[in-house]
């Protein structure tokens, strides 16, 4: 009898935690404070610190991590796995413990887990869930006031891979840092998913040796400590402008989402679904092609005679990719930047991003840090108008198709303001 008590107590604690979390989530929604996912997960974890393992352990799981593309890849991968299984996922972007726990509670009856995970949380989450697979997208500096973090993240992720030797790793071989993370993995699938931003991978993270790049290859000039060469692995999956390349065939890939980076995200999502969970290739491709919106990103909103497309960017690599997606034939462009903690207070990254090439567009600089942005646009020789309030900036654009590119809190606040106005209309 004494052996049953701990198990019974653990079950009771988990049940209590889940009930309290549901009440908190309901209260948050009822009072208009938000969807309630974060508060529910926080309360559940406070009551039962083992709840992640209790709810998720034992179910086949895949974790998705990287600086950019986590939410998009997670949504594509969840859709692909859902073609043949039931899925619990946090594809809304809540990627730390509280959000993951909320997803596990919401999908307690699902057979499979597809989870976006913050890079530094991967070791802890992997230890709790013992995932079947891990998708490694890319690593670049996120916020300049946290610039020292990138090598720390690489080491943490490498440690997680070492701690789970049976885990399948789906890694981007075009990204030097993620290649280092997965280089010693026993079970790895290399995907050529692209590397649009190269500024953070000019040296080997293990030796500090310079990385030399050619068109389709890269290598470090210094060998690793054990004498091995550190070089781009040969991929078995890849993507180009025509389609996706698999180990056995090449198939068309017609995504609803724009941009070269999203084609790379799709390649890794499809590879993970097929190789990790046995999903039929055609079903996985169709699922990735069906995704046209990721938490409001890439969505189109009709507002006061304008068709507004929203693009989100959170770091230099993301900004460069998002800028390449801007439709140069649009009737206007609003670029909005805030400098809150969630965005990164240091705005000097603006000088690393190439804003040149928007001549002929009606450009508005907006946001709390719109003045910093306006100075950068002056040096990029971009004719623009500074209008701090993003809604006012939109109103100043001509009617027609308007592109909006914003960082995290500027995107969040503008999307909320547009939705509120539409609700009250």
Query: Boundaries of CATH 3.90.190.20 in the chain?
Result: 300-424
Query: Which homologous superfamily does the CATH classification assign to the domain defined by 55-290?
Result: Mur-like, catalytic domain (3.40.1190.10)
Catalytic (active site) residue 346: yes
Higher pLDDT, 241 or 148: 241
Q: Hey, what's the torsion of the CAs at 267, 269, 274, 278, to 10 degrees?
A: 180
Region 405-413: mean pLDDT is: 95
d(CA 349, CA 358): 19
Closest residue by Cα to residue 398 from 305, 312, 315: 305
Domain boundaries for CATH 3.40.1190.10 within the chain: 55-290
4 pLDDT band, cuts 50/70/90, is very low
Catalytic residue, candidates 282, 293, 346, 381 = 346
The SS3 assignment for 191 reads strand
Q: Greater confidence, 327 or 5?
A: 327
Tell me the C-alpha distance between 193 and 121, whole Å: 23
In tens, the pLDDT along 164-189 reads 999 999 999 999 999 999 999 999 99
Structure letter (DSSP) for residue 273: I
Q: What's the pTM value of the predicted model, to 2 decimals?
A: 0.90
Please tell me the distance from the alpha carbon of residue 307 to that of residue 354, in angstroms, as a whole number.
26
What pLDDT is stored for residue 297 in this prediction? 87
Query: pLDDT at residue 88 above 60?
Result: yes
Architecture of domain 300-424: Alpha-Beta Complex (3.90)
Listed as own residue / partner, the contacts of 148-153 with beta carbons closer than 8 Å and 24 or more positions apart are 149/120, 150/177, 150/200, 151/205, 152/120, 153/119, 153/120
In angstroms, the CA 315 to CA 68 distance is 8
pLDDT in tens, 279-328: 999 999 999 999 998 988 888 999 999 999 999 998 888 999 999 999 99
Degrees to nearest 5, angle at CA 175 with 89 and 218: 160
């Amino acid at each position: 009898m004494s052996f049953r008590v701990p198990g019974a107590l653990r079950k009771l604690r988990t049940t209590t935690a889940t009930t309290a979390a549901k009440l908190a989530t309901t209260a948050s929604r009822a009072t208009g404070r938000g969807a309630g996912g974060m508060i529910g997960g926080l309360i559940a974890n406070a009551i039962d610190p083992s709840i992640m393992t209790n709810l998720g352990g034992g179910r086949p799981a895949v974790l998705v991590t990287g600086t950019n593309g986590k939410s998009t890849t997670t949504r594509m991968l969840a859709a692909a796995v859902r073609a043949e299984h039931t899925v619990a996922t946090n594809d809304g972007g809540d990627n730390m413990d509280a959000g993951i726990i909320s997803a596990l509670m919401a999908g307690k009856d699902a057979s499979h887990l597809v989870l976006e995970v913050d890079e530094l949380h991967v070791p802890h989450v992997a230890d709790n869930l013992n995932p079947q697979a891990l998708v490694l997208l890319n690593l670049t500096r996120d916020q300049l006031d946290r610039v020292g973090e990138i090598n720390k993240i690489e080491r943490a992720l490498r440690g997680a891979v070492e701690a789970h030797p049976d885990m399948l790793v789906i890694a981007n071989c075009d990204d030097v840092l993620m290649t280092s993370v997965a280089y010693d993995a026993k079970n790895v699938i290399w995907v050529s998913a692209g590397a649009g931003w190269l500024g953070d991978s000019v040296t080997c993270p293990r030796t500090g040796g310079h990385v030399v790049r050619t068109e389709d290859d890269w290598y470090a000039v210094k060998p690793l400590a054990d004498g091995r060469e550190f070089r781009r692995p040969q991929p078995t999956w890849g993507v180009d402008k025509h389609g996706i390349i698999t180990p056995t065939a090449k198939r068309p890939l017609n995504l609803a989402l724009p941009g070269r980076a999203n084609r790379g995200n799709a390649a890794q999502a499809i590879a993970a679904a097929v190789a990790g969970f046995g999903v039929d290739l055609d079903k996985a491709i169709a699922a990735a092609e069906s995704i046209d919106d990721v938490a409001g990103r890439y969505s189109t909103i009709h507002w006061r005679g304008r068709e507004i497309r929203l693009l989100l960017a959170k770091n230099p690599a993301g900004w460069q990719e998002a800028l390449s997606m801007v439709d140069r034939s649009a009737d206007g462009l609003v670029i909005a930047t805030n400098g809150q903690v969630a965005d990164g207070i240091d705005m000097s990254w603006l000088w690393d991003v190439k804003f040149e090439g928007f001549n002929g567009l009606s450009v508005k600089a907006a946001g709390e840090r719109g003045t910093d942005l306006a100075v950068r646009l002056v040096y990029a020789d971009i004719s623009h108008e500074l209008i701090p309030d993003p809604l006012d900036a939109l109103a100043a654009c001509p009617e027609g198709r308007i592109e909006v590119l914003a960082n995290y809190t500027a995107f969040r606040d503008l999307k909320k303001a547009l939705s509120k106005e539409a609700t009250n209309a």
